[in-house]
Chains A and B, each alone.
Chain A
């Protein structure tokens, strides 16, 4: 709801950034990637996808690279990569904390 820049990503946001790490993708490809990668565990609804894409574009985390007919392709920016790495580190810390407690 706020206009503040994203600091923590939700699971859906994380996977959208992840889907663009290695290659540019369009909307359907992002949905497909998330579904395949998580084996259907994370479902990305179209409303959620387009809200994320709009938000990421607004914050400069991704950019539109090509428009072919109805297909729009997105690429991750340096800022997006930085946020992805930051989120990954945070998640690693969370996992490490959890595992330490379990041991």
Chain B
């Protein structure tokens, strides 16, 4: 995780005396001069941040500055020293030369400002007094930061409320499951991980603020050492998820419907027909086609909620220059409950389309559900069915199939064929 700048340095290898002289031999070694490490997620865990910087100093890395979410360390002699974070007394407060001099006279060196909230001081003299010797006064120094924290907490709580509202709205909008299935595979999972991570991070931030405020209010010193690894991992996770959501997510637009884009991959074989494993309505099984059927599209994909999905648009010529067509969408949902919910959502979605009769349920052997509808005004030529177009939604266990069909066959007579298609 650490990025070490590959500057080389000549350092003595004290273990290897030069053969001729016995003096310390100087050998060029590849030693990084600079190291960058992920900062802690929340600086409100002040004691953890101080422990972290002190640990690095013991390992030979002297803290220099922060850049975005990274802390920059310089190579130095390993030594035990103290780091203390002191909150800014006001916005963009700078340390006056006089103040710096007094601190230095008492053994404290100024390092930098960390994330615009804390002055960082370092002390290498073990006999030097603590930076803060009076916890009540120390709490007084947090007045500006306390206001900042309260504002920040209010903003973050507001953000959480908005986020919760969005989640609530999403799961109460029309056909949430269907919409989720239309997205690119992995996107829903990514969003869920992102949402939970935000919740965890916000909760930790708020708890960290609460703990700090309570400590200060009680007038007790911050307890050290404090663990900080988890804070670093949280920061890494936050950066990674921020990158994914801000950079990757916008490239994958949401809200596509199957009619626009299935977000799947081709499932056609070399002859241009769907592969054997594809589940779809074959026109040749129910219509007397003139010649071979043709396929506009045949795609498949897997999804977090569906082990397999297919989308096949097929057409074929009938006699009298009529065109038969079947647009099949198949969902192999992971559970029967999901299949039931999806079938309901597909029906609701269909009900919003104009020009169709209402879907009517019919009993069908071998199927758990069978719903059928037809176009209100038939197109001339399709005499066998009152409407030129038919629509079917069928379910068997977790498998759901929706077919938009143009042909002479009445699909209500083809339930056995559908049951066979959905045979596991």
Contact = CB atoms under 8 A, between A and B. Distances in A.
Nearest to A11: B134
A46 B134 contact: no
A100 interface: no
A12 to B, nearest CB: 4
Contact of B131 (A31, A47, A70): A47
B102 A28 contact: yes
Interface string A10-48: 111100000000000011100100000000000111111
Nearest to B104: A46
A82 B312 CA distance: 90
A48 B130 CA distance: 9
Report the interface size class on chain A: 20 to 34
22 contacts: A3-B143, A10-B134, A10-B137, A26-B102, A27-B102, A28-B105, A31-B102, A45-B134, A46-B103, A46-B108, A46-B129, A46-B131, A47-B131, A48-B133, A49-B102, A51-B137, A51-B140, A52-B134, A55-B137, A70-B96, A70-B101, A72-B98
B140 A46 contact: no
Contacts of B99: 27, 46, 50
A103 interface: no
B141 A46 contact: no
A54 B98 CA distance: 13
A54 B137 contact: no
B98 A47 contact: no
A79 interface: no
Nearest to B217: A1
B22 interface: no
Interface of A is mostly: helix
A12 B136 CA distance: 10
Nearest to A72: B98
A71 B133 CA distance: 23
* Pairs A-B, 3 closest by C-beta atoms: A47-B131, A45-B133, A27-B102
Interface residues of B, number: 31
Contacts of A43: 129-130, 133
Interface of A: 1, 3, 10-13, 26-28, 31, 43-52, 54-55, 67, 70-72
Interface string B213-242: 000110000000000000000000000000
Contacts of B136: 10
B98 A27 contact: yes
B84 interface: yes
Given A1-B143, A44-B129, A12 B106 contact: no
Interface string B121-151: 1000000011111101111111100100000
Given A31-B106, A46-B103, A51 B141 contact: yes
B89 interface: yes
Given A31-B106, A49-B102, A51-B89, 12 more contacts: A1-B140, A10-B137, A12-B133, A26-B98, A28-B101, A46-B103, A50-B102, A51-B137, A51-B141, A70-B96, A71-B98, A72-B98
Given A28-B102, A44-B129, A46-B131, A51 B138 contact: yes
B424 interface: no
A72 B101 CA distance: 11
Given A1-B217, A12-B137, A70-B97, A45 B130 contact: yes
A47 B141 contact: yes
Contacts of A1: 139-140, 142-143, 146, 216-217
B84 A47 contact: yes
Interface in B79-105: 84, 86, 89, 96-99, 101-103, 105
B98 A45 contact: no
A47 B217 contact: no
B126 to A, nearest CB: 14
A43 B138 CA distance: 14
Interface in B295-351: none
Nearest to B90: A54
Most chain A C-beta atoms within 10 Å of own C-beta, residue among B97, B132, B216? B132
B137 A52 contact: yes
B133 A44 contact: yes
Contacts of B143: 1, 3
Contacts of B97: 70
A93 B107 CA distance: 38
A67 B139 CA distance: 28
Contact of B106 (A13, A45, A51): A45
